[in-house]
Amino acid sequence: MKTIKTVKEMKEIVDSYKASFNKTIGLVPTMGYLHDGHLSLIKRAREENHIVIVSVFVNPTQFGVNEDYEIYPKDIKRDKELAEAAGADYMFHPTVEEMYPTGHKTYVEVLDITDKLCGASRPGHFKGVTTIVNKLFQIVEPNRAYFGLKDAQQVAVVQQMVRDLFLNTEIVPCPIVREPDGLAMSSRNILLSPEDRQAALILSKGLMEAKKIVDCGEKNVFTIKEKIIKIISQEPTVNIDYIEMLQFPTLEAVSIIGGKVLIAIAAKVGNVRLIDNIIMEE
Amino acid sequence: MKTIKTVKEMKEIVDSYKASFNKTIGLVPTMGYLHDGHLSLIKRAREENHIVIVSVFVNPTQFGVNEDYEIYPKDIKRDKELAEAAGADYMFHPTVEEMYPTGHKTYVEVLDITDKLCGASRPGHFKGVTTIVNKLFQIVEPNRAYFGLKDAQQVAVVQQMVRDLFLNTEIVPCPIVREPDGLAMSSRNILLSPEDRQAALILSKGLMEAKKIVDCGEKNVFTIKEKIIKIISQEPTVNIDYIEMLQFPTLEAVSIIGGKVLIAIAAKVGNVRLIDNIIMEE
């Protein structure tokens, strides 16, 4: 696996593949500190494409002023080893100045579906996401790009951008990967104290309980939500940001469960903001 | 010349050229009602590319609520004849629903340099421009795109977008084409009454006078601006929207003429808003 630091060199490599043969490129965009969730994306990309590019870039424009940009975990040496072992051909690891050169002024924004869930709690977050994903797509020209469903709203927003701007990239949403005890994998999990790590399990527990009662016939969103709140409230160190049930991927409001429904949770566990969700198809 | 109405068909044609040979594609994005200015872009594209695509699309998102979207002149039959004669291979002529399907939510925006000149008078205008140009670039994947310098700010804004989003398209700015009496060619000129058509000549006259006094040694922007205002005020039916002198293409303020300077005018002549400019290099 080769590591590429500049847009110019990355574009030259992409051009060489595009020109010589009909090679397909799979992109796995990440903020690094790779875990098994990321690796599942890389492995899937490996199966489906001739060339696999993993980007590692902690994107400043998707962090709010009081968020964890400065302390976001990093270990590029380990990331390289893991990405290579999972089958990546290239790691694209640019600097902030490379992706946002002095004087940059352009943003890509998806309206409406970015106002809810994490978009409501983190204003500007998805504008940062769509801007950086758009830049990466222009540089890498991927045939397919792989995103984990842990951030289900991100999948919906990026798919909307691809559709609206007629981008030539297929978005491949991939299932959440969980620790054996149910905690959704996240680079931020390392920031949890051992006690908070234990308390955080209540999030996936709440979701699994919700699924159970839906499977048993409960279709009223308000009732299900109350049930999840009751479960999560058992952990006093877990502060719910939101629990929402929405149609997926339109993110439209829903009052009675039907079709494809996202149950999404965001909560602060200690100082760490975590998200988790399940998508149910009725 | 073939006329293409759908994004899907346009993309298939582009793909066939991209796949089979190393063909270059030149795009001339227009709002139709073609004049010699547009035709100069098409001819230039013809000289420099294997395939020339002219788009004709009156883009609703770049018009304000009280602007002339509804009465923007149209004559697609004539446009086709003129584009073909100038050397176009394809005309891309989609519907509004095709470019902005129901439920579209995505915009591309360049900040800062879009706040001045026409951006100040027409809020949201350039957001509409960059969004539609971005869509066209994704569909047509042009190696080069040709823009007239009559809208010099548009050239600067689109170049900024290309740089910031790492688009694979070279922007080719082309000189303003004028009527023999000096009036800058514009599709909107047809909306002028004969008297207003005559009065409108004062805009190019003002710019030529400005150039003269700069050539004679006057470098003070305030003095030059006063001079232009004095000239244009001779025509009572011409209402100045702005007269600005800015560095080009950064659109930074300038007080003493030096480097590449844009003198830009916008004015209402009767009910028609016209723009004109010159770029001087000192």
**What is the band of B21 on the pLDDT scale with cuts at 50, 70, 90?**
low
d(CA B25, nearest CA chain A) in Å: 15
Hey, what are B11's tokens?
Answer: 């993309």
Interface of B with A in 22-61 (CB under 8 A): 22
Find the CB nearest A109 among B107, B160, B164. Answer: B107
Q: Is the CB of A105 less than 8 angstroms away from the CB of B110?
A: yes
Q: Which helix (H) or strand (E) holds A274?
A: strand A272-281
Q: Testing the interface with B: which of A100, A105, A111, A116 to mutate, by most B Cβ within 10 A?
A: A105
Are the C-beta atoms of B110 and B164 separated by less than 8 Å? yes
Are the C-beta atoms of B58 and B73 separated by less than 8 Å? no
Q: Is the CB of A109 less than 8 angstroms away from the CB of B104?
A: no
Q: No. of H helices and E strands in chain A? A: 10, 10
3-class secondary-structure state, position A169? coil
Nearest residue in A to B99, CA atom? A164
Are the C-beta atoms of B174 and B146 separated by less than 8 Å? yes
* Amino acid A211: pLDDT: 96
Peptide bond into A94 cis (omega under 30): no
DSSP collapsed to 3 states, chain B: CEEECCHHHHHHHHHHHHHHCCCCEEEEEECCCCCHHHHHHHHHHHHHCCEEEEEECCCHHHCCCCCCCCCCCCCHHHHHHHHHHHCCCEEECCCHHHHCCCCCCEEEEECCCCCCHHHHHCCCHHHHHHHHHHHHHHHHCCCEEEEEHHHHHHHHHHHHHHHHCCCCCEEEEECCCECCCCCECCHHHHHCCHHHHHHCHHHHHHHHHHHHHHHCCCCEHHHHHHHHHHHHCCCCCEEEEEEEEEECCCCCECCECCCEEEEEEEEEECCEEEEEEEEEEC
* Amino acid B282: pLDDT: 79
d(CA B36, nearest CA chain A) in Å: 30
Find the CB nearest A106 among B22, B160, B168. Answer: B160
d(CA B220, nearest CA chain A) in Å: 27
Q: Is the CB of B111 less than 8 angstroms away from the CB of A134?
A: no
Tell whether the model's pLDDT for residue B165 goes beyond 70.
Answer: yes
For residue B66, give the amino acid letter. Answer: N
* Amino acid A19: pLDDT: 81
Chain segment A241-255, per-residue pLDDT in tens: 999 999 999 999 999
Tell whether the model's pLDDT for residue B18 goes beyond 90.
Answer: no
Q: Is the CB of A106 less than 8 angstroms away from the CB of B109?
A: yes
Domains and CATH numbers, chain A: 2-174 (3.40.50.620), 187-277 (3.30.1300.10)
Chain segment B196-233, per-residue pLDDT in tens: 999 999 999 999 999 999 999 999 999 999 999 999 99
Does residue A21 belong to the interface with chain B, where contact is any CB pair within 8 Å? no
Q: What's the rounded Cα separation, in Å, for the pair A186 and A265?
A: 14
Chain segment B65-83, per-residue pLDDT in tens: 989 999 999 999 999 999 9
Peptide bond into B180 cis (omega under 30): no
Q: What's the rounded Cα separation, in Å, for the pair A194 and A172?
A: 34
Does residue A11 belong to the interface with chain B, where contact is any CB pair within 8 Å? yes
Tell whether the model's pLDDT for residue B180 goes beyond 80.
Answer: yes
- Which residues, including other chains, have CB under 8 Å from residue A30's CB and lie 6 or more apart? A38, A41, A54, A55, A56, A57
Q: What's the rounded Cα separation, in Å, for the pair A135 and A154?
A: 16
Binding region of A for ATP: 31-38, 148-151, 177, 185-188
Q: Is the CB of B19 less than 8 angstroms away from the CB of A22?
A: yes
Q: Is the CB of B105 less than 8 angstroms away from the CB of A106?
A: no
Are the C-beta atoms of B142 and B18 separated by less than 8 Å? no
Question: Which chain A residues have a beta carbon less than 8 Å from that of B166?
Answer: 7, 11, 135, 138-139
* Amino acid A84: pLDDT: 98
**Annotation says A38 is catalytic:** yes
A-B C-beta contacts closer than 8 Å: 76
Does residue B202 belong to the interface with chain A, where contact is any CB pair within 8 Å? no
* Amino acid B19: pLDDT: 81
pLDDT, mean over chain B: 97
Interface of A with B in 104-143 (CB under 8 A): 104-113, 130, 134-135, 138-139
Q: Partners of A148 in the beta sheet?
A: A174
* Amino acid A22: pLDDT: 81
Q: Is the CB of A138 less than 8 angstroms away from the CB of B111?
A: no
**Tens of each residue's pLDDT in chain A, 282 residues:** 999 999 999 999 999 998 876 899 999 999 999 999 999 999 999 999 999 999 999 999 999 999 999 999 999 999 999 999 999 999 999 999 999 999 999 999 999 999 999 999 999 999 999 999 999 999 999 999 999 999 999 999 999 999 999 999 999 999 999 999 999 999 999 999 999 999 999 999 999 999 999 999 999 999 999 999 999 999 999 999 999 999 999 999 999 999 999 999 999 999 999 999 999 997
For residue B64, say whether it is annotated as part of any ligand binding site. Answer: no
Question: Which chain A residues have a beta carbon less than 8 Å from that of B7?
Answer: 166
Q: Is the CB of A104 less than 8 angstroms away from the CB of B164?
A: yes
What number is the average pLDDT over the span B34-47?
Answer: 98
3-class secondary-structure state, position A105? coil
Q: Is the CB of A166 less than 8 angstroms away from the CB of B109?
A: no
Are the C-beta atoms of B93 and B67 separated by less than 8 Å? no
d(CA B231, nearest CA chain A) in Å: 36
Task: Give the dihedral sign, CA A155/A158/A163/A168.
Answer: negative
Nearest residue in A to B159, CA atom? A106
Find the CB nearest A166 among B109, B138, B161. Answer: B138
Q: What's the rounded Cα separation, in Å, for the pair B201 and B83?
A: 27
Share of chain B above pLDDT 70, in %: 100
d(CA A105, nearest CA chain B) in Å: 5
